[in-house]
Structure 1
Amino acid sequence: MRVISVIADIPVADIDAAKDFYAEYLGLSDEEFDLGWVARFTSPESGANVQLVTRDATAQENPVVSVKVDDVEAAFDEARSRGYEIVHPVTTEPWGVTRFFVRAPDGTVVNIVQHRD
């Protein structure tokens, strides 16, 4: 498994209400996507980004970070072999990703995700 990128998942009550701060004030104006419950804002200059999350659409818990990998199945197998708690099973989502959530030893919930081509 190779990590491709890491994105902070920031909990917000309302994406539209938070948009002014993240998009306008911080300049993360390139809205890559908005599914209503999650939206990603990216800087057109640097590519830096954050995801705003109200409540995950298919999981019981919200992650605090999303880690994009090149092989989600290998990441899942390794997490299980290390005895890490799987919070959300490997799931192919309708919005074009396969993902699972794992709890780090410190309690942090991490979304391990692979985008389908």
Structure 2
Amino acid sequence: MAVKRIKPNIRSEDFDGSRRFYTDLIGLDGGDGLDWILFFGGETREVQLSVMKRDIRAGVHPDVSIEVDDIDDVHARCVAFGAEIVYPLTNEPWGLRRFFVRDPNGAVINVTQHTE
């Protein structure tokens, strides 16, 4: 199992302000997305930041997204450990298989794997 990237998820209700801040002030590209999430990045896929309202499917805000290459293995280890699964392992219609797990500090981690 390998981690492919780690991406912070900032909660926001001010998408216009977020676009201005992250593109004009910080210098990230992007600011496009859906009505509940915006994506900002750099020259490589590994440099990405998400700004989102409450997650549209899970109904809870994930603090961090971690993309892995074997989500079933990570999910099984989390369950065996007794970690709190906040959102079940789900195949999402936008090409992700994911689940949310709470870390020992209370942070919600969105563990993902691309299916497309």
Q: Structure 2 length as normaliser, TM-score?
A: 0.91
Residue 93 of structure 2 aligns to a residue in which SS? Answer: coil
Do the aligned partners of 2:5 and 2:46 also contact (CA within 8 Å) in 1?
no
**Bigger shift: 47-56 or 104-113?**
47-56
Paired-residue identity, %: 36
Q: Which amino acid aligns with 1:59?
A: A
1:30-69 equivalence runs, <5 A: 30-31=30-31, 34-44=33-43, 48-69=47-68
Gaps of at least 5 residues in structure 1 are none
Aligned to 1:23: 23
SS of the residue aligned with 2:49?
strand
Q: 1:45 to 1:72 in 2, by over 3 A?
A: closer
Indicate the SS of the match to 2:60: coil
Do residues 112 (structure 1) and 75 (structure 2) align? no
Q: Any idea what the Cα deviations from partners look like across 1:27-67, whole Å, max 9, x if unmatched?
A: 11135x50221121002379522100111010131110000
Instruction: Give distance in 2, aligned partners of 1:46 and 1:66.
Output: 14
- Name the amino acid aligned to 1:58: R
SS at match of 2:39: strand
Report how many residues are paired: 116
Superposition CA RMSD, Å: 1.7
- How far did 1:23 drift? 1.6
CA offsets per residue over residues 73-116 of structure 1, 9 Å max, x none?
11110100111000000111111101000000111100000011
Q: Is the 8 A contact 1:15 1:36 kept in 2?
A: no
